[in-house]
Structure 1
Amino acid sequence: MGENLEVFIVDRIEEHSIVCENSKGEIISICKNQVEGNPKEGEVLIKGHNKYHVDIEATKQRKAEIEELMKGMWADE
C-alpha cells in the first residue's frame, strides 16, 4: 500500500452506504457510488483519485494476521 493512501476496513454494508473504520478508529460512511466493485465486510478499501477500491493484497494480509491471532484460541493446546 502506498504511504499517502487513506485506508479503511469495511465494517458493514447498508442500503446506500458502506460503513468503514479508518486508521484512526473512526467510523465513517461512504456512499456506494463512490466505491468500485462490491466490497465485503472485513475487506480493506483504499482511496485514490476520489474513488475507493478493494486492496486485494492488504485484505489477504489482514486475513492472514487475524487467522494467526485466532490459532489455538478455542482449542485445548
Structure 2
Amino acid sequence: MKAKEMLKAIYRRLYRLVSRNKRIENARKSIEEYTEAVPCEDSADELSRQYSNQKRARSLKEELHDLKFDNWIERFGG
C-alpha cells in the first residue's frame, strides 16, 4: 500500500471517528430538546423523518469531504 493511500485511509478513519462522536453528542442534545418540544403521539414518526433527513445530509457531507480531500491530495500530495 502506498504511503498516500495509507494516509488517506487513516485520515478518513479519524474523520469518521470524530464525526461519529460529534453526532452522538448532537443526537443526545437534539433528542432531549425534541422530547421536550413534541407531543408523545407524534414523536416516533417525526424522529424517524428527522433521522432519515440527517442521515442523508451526513452522507452528502462525508461525500463532499471525501471529494475535497481527494482534490487536496491530488493538488498537494504529489
If the TM-score is normalised by the length of the shorter chain, which range does it land in? Answer: 0.3 to 0.5
The two structures have a TM-score, normalised by structure 1, of 0.32
Higher strand fraction (1 or 2): 1
Higher relative contact order (CA 8 A, sep 6+): 2
Larger Rg: 2
Higher helix fraction (1 or 2): 2
